[in-house]
C-alpha cells in the first residue's frame, strides 16, 4: 500500500469522523433540550441532524428526534406512534431501541402495563447490541423500575432504582436533570413502602432543584408524599405533649381522690346523724317514762292526802295516765 493510498483513505475518513462527532454533539444537545421539556428546540436540532445524517444513510436518528418533538412526551398522535413502529425496523440498533422505548412509555402512560413490559424488553435487547447510548439505557432502566413499582412490587422497584443510581453517575453528569428524575422515582417508591421520612427528605431536595420549574409532576409527588406521611413532630414538642398529658392525668387523679373522700365523708356524716337521731329518740323516751312515773306518783300522793281515793276514781286515774 502506497503512501498516497493511505493519505487518500485518511482524507476520506476525516469527513466521516467529523460527521460522527457532530451527530454525537447534536444528539446530546437534543437530550438536554428534551430534559428541559423544550420540544421546539428538539425539533430544530432534528432538522440539523437530518442535514448531516441523510448523506450517510443515518437519517433514522433525525427522524427519531423529530418524532420525539411531535409526540409531546408520550401524548402524541397516531401518526407519531406509526413512525415509532416504523423505526423499530430500521437498520440502526440504537434507533430501534429508542423506538421500542418510546412505544413502551406510550403504553405505560395509557395504563397498558403488559404492552409496556414487552416494548421495554425489546428495547433492552437492542441496547445490548450497542454501547453508544448511555442516556437511552438510563431512561430504559428507570422506566423498567417504575413499571415494576406500578405493578405492585415496590421493594423490587426501589432496589432497581437505587442500584441504577450507583452505576450511572457519569450519565447523570452529562444530563444533570436525570439525577433528579431518578430521585423523584426513588422518593415515590420509599413512600409506597412506608418510609415517609426518607421520602420527604428526598422529594424536598428534588423540589429545590433548578429544574423543578420544568417538572410540575415533582410537586405532585411532594403532595402525594405529604398526604400519606404522618405529621413529623420535633423531640421538644413530643416532650411538651407528654408532660402535658402527665399533668392532666395527675389533675384527674386528684379530682378522683377528692370525690372519693367527699363521698366517704358524706356517708360518715349521714351515719353519725342517724346515730344521733336514734340516741335522741331513746333519751326522750326514757325521759318521758321518768316524767310519767313522777306524775303518777304525785297524783296518787295527792289523792291519798285528800282521802278521796276510791276504787272507781283509781281506775279512772290509771286510764287517764295510760292515755
Domain count, the chain: 2
> In terms of domains, do 60 and 153 share one?
yes
> In terms of domains, do 206 and 150 share one?
yes
User: What is the pLDDT at residue 313?
Assistant: 67
Instruction: Flag residues of the chain having pLDDT under 70.
Output: 1-15, 72-76, 229-235, 288-296, 298-311, 313-314, 316-318, 320-323
User: What is the pLDDT at residue 216?
Assistant: 95
> In terms of domains, do 139 and 120 share one?
yes
> In terms of domains, do 205 and 72 share one?
yes
User: What is the pLDDT at residue 36?
Assistant: 92
**Alpha helix segments (H runs only) across the chain:** 3-35, 39-53, 59-71, 78-87, 93-109, 113-127, 134-150, 154-167, 169-174, 177-192, 196-207, 216-228, 235-306, 311-322
User: What is the pLDDT at residue 151?
Assistant: 95
Structural domain of 92: 3-234
What CATH number is given to the structural domain containing 42? 1.25.40.10
User: What is the pLDDT at residue 215?
Assistant: 95
> In terms of domains, do 212 and 249 share one?
no
User: What is the pLDDT at residue 5?
Assistant: 46
Domain end point (choices 198, 219, 234): 234
Q: Considering the entire predicted model, what is its pTM?
A: 0.67
> In terms of domains, do 184 and 105 share one?
yes
Domain end point (choices 234, 256, 286): 234
User: What is the pLDDT at residue 13?
Assistant: 45
> In terms of domains, do 215 and 264 share one?
no
Within 8 A by CB and 6+ apart from 87, the residues are 60, 63, 64, 67, 95, 96, 98, 99
Domain end point (choices 179, 211, 234): 234
Sign of the alpha-carbon torsion through 257, 260, 261, 262: positive
User: What is the pLDDT at residue 115?
Assistant: 96
User: What is the pLDDT at residue 122?
Assistant: 97
> In terms of domains, do 158 and 302 share one?
no
User: What is the pLDDT at residue 12?
Assistant: 40
> In terms of domains, do 155 and 188 share one?
yes
> In terms of domains, do 242 and 230 share one?
no
Amino acid at each position: 500500500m502506497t503512501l498516497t493510498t493511505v493519505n487518500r483513505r485518511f482524507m476520506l475518513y476525516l469527513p466521516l469522523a467529523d460527521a460522527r462527532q457532530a451527530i454525537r454533539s447534536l444528539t446530546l444537545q437534543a437530550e438536554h433540550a428534551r430534559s428541559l421539556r423544550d420540544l421546539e428546540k428538539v425539533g430544530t436540532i432534528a432538522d440539523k441532524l437530518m442535514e448531516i445524517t441523510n448523506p450517510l444513510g443515518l437519517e433514522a436518528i433525525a427522524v427519531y428526534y423529530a418524532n420525539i418533538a411531535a409526540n409531546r412526551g408520550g401524548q402524541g398522535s397516531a401518526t407519531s406512534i406509526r413512525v415509532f413502529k416504523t423505526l423499530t425496523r430500521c437498520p440502526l440498533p440504537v434507533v430501534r431501541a429508542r423506538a421500542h422505548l418510546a412505544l413502551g412509555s406510550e403504553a405505560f402512560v395509557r395504563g397498558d402495563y403488559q404492552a409496556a413490559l414487552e416494548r421495554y424488553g425489546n428495547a433492552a435487547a437492542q441496547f445490548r447490541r450497542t454501547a453508544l447510548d448511555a442516556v437511552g439505557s438510563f431512561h430504559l432502566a428507570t422506566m423498567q423500575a417504575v413499571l415494576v413499582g406500578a405493578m405492585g412490587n415496590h421493594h423490587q422497584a426501589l432496589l432497581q432504582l437505587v442500584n441504577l443510581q450507583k452505576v450511572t453517575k457519569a450519565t447523570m453528569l452529562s444530563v444533570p436533570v436525570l439525577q433528579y428524575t431518578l430521585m423523584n422515582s426513588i422518593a415515590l417508591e420509599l413512600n409506597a413502602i412506608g418510609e415517609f421520612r426518607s421520602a420527604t427528605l428526598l422529594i424536598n431536595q428534588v423540589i429545590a432543584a433548578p429544574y423543578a420549574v420544568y417538572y410540575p409532576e415533582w410537586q405532585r409527588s411532594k403532595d402525594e408524599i405529604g398526604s400519606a406521611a404522618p405529621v413529623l413532630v420535633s423531640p421538644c414538642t413530643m416532650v411538651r405533649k407528654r408532660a402535658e398529658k402527665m399533668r392532666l392525668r395527675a389533675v384527674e387523679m386528684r379530682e378522683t381522690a377528692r370525690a372519693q373522700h367527699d363521698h366517704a365523708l358524706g356517708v360518715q356524716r349521714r351515719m353519725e346523724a342517724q346515730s344521733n337521731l336514734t340516741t335522741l329518740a331513746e333519751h326522750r323516751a326514757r325521759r318521758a317514762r321518768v316524767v310519767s312515773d313522777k306524775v303518777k306518783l304525785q297524783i296518787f300522793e295527792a289523792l291519798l292526802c285528800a282521802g278521796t281515793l276510791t276504787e272507781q276514781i283509781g281506775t279512772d286515774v290509771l286510764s287517764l295516765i295510760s292515755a
